[in-house]
């Protein structure tokens, strides 16, 4: 595992963006696995900047996102499709037809998950998967569990997550109760993994995930078994790693 400890969030974002950019330069038609959440926003800004300056060309890049809320349309401003459009895709020269997010509007969970696995498979797998890290070690929507999930699956959101998300919706009833997420098995199949963690509040889980035992109770710990992982963090998140 390569570990980069950067001074702050901006430097960590720059480092992460440079790693993604290098992938795009090396293989212009690569498949990028992308994430939502607050962590990658800075890296996405850097990528937009590189694209605007003509330093990076996304015209042949294809992408698959980690997850999507079940029941939310792409136009819903809480959907992950909306997040990706507004934080990245609308501002770079990627062909949106080449970008994929699980279909939140598919009510049949088995079909939604099988369709998404088929999309990933048809693309020949993911070249570089970007990940954020949840406070409990979750990656994508794979929460601590008895076993590691395999392919794309439908997860029930915990009451904690539902309550935390309620502020973004008109009423609590509008908050999605389920989500479609790539499985741990799918994530582990990516050729390269880039995981980014920033902030003091991530320090404990970074230590646990990367120096502790490998267990589905800390889903990210499985990354210790992946042959090509790069961990990028700011000094606060990496304080136990240096
Ligand atoms: C995002 C995702 C989540 C986040 C994680 C960290 O697509 O699947 O696992 O990466 O919850 O979120 P932030 O970056 O907001 O701390």
What local confidence, expressed as pLDDT, does residue 172 receive?
Answer: 82
Give yes or no for residue 92 having a pLDDT over 90. Answer: yes
Query: What is the mean pLDDT of the segment spanning 123-144?
Result: 95
Quick check: is 138 catalytic?
yes
**pLDDT band at residue 170 using 50, 70 and 90 as cut-offs:** confident
Nearest to 149 by CA among 118, 194, 180: 180
Fold of 2-232: Rossmann fold (3.40.50)
Share of the chain above pLDDT 90, in %: 92
Quick check: is 143 catalytic?
yes
What rounded mean pLDDT belongs to the chain?
96
The values of phi and psi at residue 220, to 5°, are -65, -15
State in Å: Cα 205 to ligand 1 middle: 13
Query: What is the mean pLDDT of the segment spanning 198-227?
Result: 98
Which of 85, 87, 136, 165 is an active site residue? Answer: 136
By the 10 Å C-beta count (0-12 exposed, 13-18 middle, 19+ buried), 102 is classed as buried
**pLDDT band at residue 71 using 50, 70 and 90 as cut-offs:** very high
């Amino acid at each position: 595992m390569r570990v980069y400890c950067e001074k702050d969030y901006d430097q960590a974002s720059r480092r992460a963006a440079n790693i993604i950019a290098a992938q795009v330069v090396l293989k212009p038609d690569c498949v990028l696995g992308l994430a939502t959440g607050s962590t990658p926003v800075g890296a996405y800004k850097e990528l937009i900047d590189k694209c605007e300056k003509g330093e990076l060309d996304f015209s042949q890049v294809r992408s698959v996102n980690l997850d999507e809320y079940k029941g939310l349309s792409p136009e819903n401003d809480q959907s992950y499709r909306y997040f990706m459009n507004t934080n990245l895709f609308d501002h770079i020269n990627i062909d949106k037809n080449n970008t994929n997010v699980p279909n939140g509007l598919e009510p049949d969970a088995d079909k939604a998950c099988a369709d998404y696995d088929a999309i990933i498979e048809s693309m020949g797998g993911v070249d570089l998967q970007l990940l954020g890290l949840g406070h409990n070690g979750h990656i994508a929507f794979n929460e601590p569990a008895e076993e590691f999930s395999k392919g794309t699956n439908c997860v029930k959101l915990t009451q904690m997550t539902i309550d935390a998300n309620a502020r973004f919706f008109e009423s609590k009833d509008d908050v999605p109760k389920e989500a479609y997420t790539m499985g741990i098995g799918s994530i582990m199949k990516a050729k390269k993994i880039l995981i980014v963690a920033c902030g003091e509040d991530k320090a404990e889980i970074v230590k646990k995930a990367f120096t502790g035992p490998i267990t589905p109770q800390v889903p990210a710990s499985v990354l210790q078994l992946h042959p090509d992982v790069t961990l990028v963090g700011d000094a606060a998140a990496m304080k136990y790693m240096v």
